[in-house]
Amino acid sequence: MNKLALLFALIFSSITHAWTIDGVGDFKFEQASDRVYVMHGPIASPNEQNYGFMNNPIFIEGDNGLIVIDPGSSKFVGDNILKEVKKISSKPVVAVINTHVHGDHWLANHAIKDKYPDAKFYAHMNMIREAEYGEAQRWIKTYSDITDKAKGTIAVIPTYSIGHKDTLTIEGQKFIIHSPLPSSHSSSDIMIEHVNSKTLFTGDNAFTDRMGRFDGQSNMLDNIKILDYAKNLTIDTYVPGHGYSGAVTQAIDPYLNYLKIIEQESRKGYEEDLADYEIKPFADKHLAEYRDWSGYDEQLGKHINKMLLEIEALDL
Ligand SMILES: [Zn+2]
C-alpha cells in the first residue's frame, strides 16, 4: 500500500470505527456477553458538547431481529446509535425496551420508530403513564434546552406495558423483568434479565463512574434493597444505566456500597440531630474512592439531604 492509500485507509477506518464526538470520545458497541452489545456512553452530564448523549444503549442479537434497550436521549443520538448497530448486525430492530421514564434513556425511540415502524416498544406501566401525562414533553424540552441536536425529537411512548416477573421471548431471546418495589431510582424502573447470557440490565438502579440523581419520585433506601435483590439473581454480567459493565463486584458493589455509607452516616447524624451539611464531612471521609466519580461534589450533599428525609419519614 502506498502512503496515500494508507492515509485514506486510516481515515476511513477512523470514520467507520466508531461514533466520534469531538472533544468527548469515540463511542462504539462492545460485546458484553453472548449476543449482547453495549455502547458505554459519555459519563459527563448532558451538555452541548456531548449532544446530550450520556447513557448506555444496548442491543441483543436475536435470530432474525434485534432487541434494543434504552437507545438514548434524542432522535439525533438514536440515528447515530443505529449507524453503530449496523456495523455489527444488519438485522432489523424488532423490539425496544425502556428501563424508565428519564429522557436520556428513551427519547431516541423516535429514531427507531422512523426506521423500523413495526418495532414493538415496551416499558413499565408507570413509565407509559408518566410519559403520557407530561413527562415526555418535559424531557423533550429539557434536552432541547441543553442541545440543538435534540430539537425536533418526537416522543415515541411505549405501548406494551411490562412489570415484575413478566417474561418476554423475542427472536429466541428470553427476558425476565424485575421490578419488585414501587420506586427506587424512579417510580418506573424495570431491570431486564437476559436469560440466555445471564446478563442483567439494571437501568439507573446502578451506576459506575458517575453519581445517580434522586428526584422526588425516587427512594434511596429502596434503591439499596433493589441492588441487594439484583445481587441475588444468577447473573454473570451487570450492565448499569451509566458507566462501565462487569461482574457484580465491578458493576453493582461500588454504587451499592456508596449508598450504604450514605445511609449509615445519615442514620448516625439523625441520631445526633445533625443537619445534612454537618453530616457531609463525616460521610466524605469514608468515600475517598468515589471522589473522582462524575457528579460526586454536586450530589453528595443532596444525597444526604434526601436520605435524611427518608429516615425521618420512617421514624414518624
Ligand atoms: Zn439515566
Question: For residue 292, which phi and psi values (nearest 5 degrees)?
Answer: -95, 5
pLDDT at residue 315, rounded to an integer: 84
CATH topology of domain 13-247: Metallo-beta-lactamase; Chain A (3.60.15)
pLDDT at residue 10, rounded to an integer: 57
pLDDT at residue 17, rounded to an integer: 83
What is the 176 CA–ligand 1 centroid distance (Å)? Answer: 21
Domain ranges of the chain: 13-247, 252-316
* Mean pLDDT, range 66-93, rounded to an integer: 98
What is the 94 CA–ligand 1 centroid distance (Å)? Answer: 23
What is the 9 CA–ligand 1 centroid distance (Å)? Answer: 37
* Mean pLDDT, range 53-74, rounded to an integer: 98
* pLDDT band for position 207 (cuts 50, 70, 90): very high
What is the 214 CA–ligand 1 centroid distance (Å)? Answer: 11
The answer to whether residue 176 scores a pLDDT higher than 70 is: yes
Whose cell is 448497530? That residue is 85
Question: Got the DSSP string for the chain?
Answer: --HHHHHHHHHHHHHHH-EEETTTEEE--EEEETTEEE-----SPP-TTTTT--S--EEEE-SSSEEEE---SSHHHHHHHHHHHHTT--SPEEEEE---S-HHHHTTHHHHHHH-TT-EEEEEHHHHHHIIIIIHHHHHHHHHHH-GGGTT-------EEE-TT-EEEETTEEEEEE--SS-SSSSS--EEEEGGGTEEEEEEEEESSB-----TT--HHHHHHHHHHHHTS--SEEEEEES--BSHHHHTHHHHHHHHHHHHHHHHHHHTT--HHHHHHHHHHT-GGGTTSBTHHHHHHHHHHHHHHHHHHHH-
What is the 282 CA–ligand 1 centroid distance (Å)? Answer: 28
What is the 46 CA–ligand 1 centroid distance (Å)? Answer: 10
pLDDT at residue 9, rounded to an integer: 58
Q: Are 71 and 78 in contact (CB under 8 A)?
A: yes
What are 223's strand-pairing partners? none
Between 2 and 179, the higher pLDDT residue: 179
Q: How far apart are CA 53 and CA 55, in angstroms?
A: 6
What is the 275 CA–ligand 1 centroid distance (Å)? Answer: 29
What is the 162 CA–ligand 1 centroid distance (Å)? Answer: 19
What is the 204 CA–ligand 1 centroid distance (Å)? Answer: 5
What is the 30 CA–ligand 1 centroid distance (Å)? Answer: 19
% of residues, the chain, pLDDT over 70: 95
Average model confidence (pLDDT) across the chain: 95
Dihedral sign, Cα of residue 98, residue 102, residue 106, residue 110: positive
* pLDDT band for position 42 (cuts 50, 70, 90): very high
What is the 55 CA–ligand 1 centroid distance (Å)? Answer: 6
- Render pLDDT for 102-137 as a digit per residue (tens, 0 to 9): 999 999 999 999 999 999 999 999 999 999 999 999
pLDDT at residue 89, rounded to an integer: 97
* pLDDT band for position 38 (cuts 50, 70, 90): very high
pLDDT at residue 288, rounded to an integer: 97
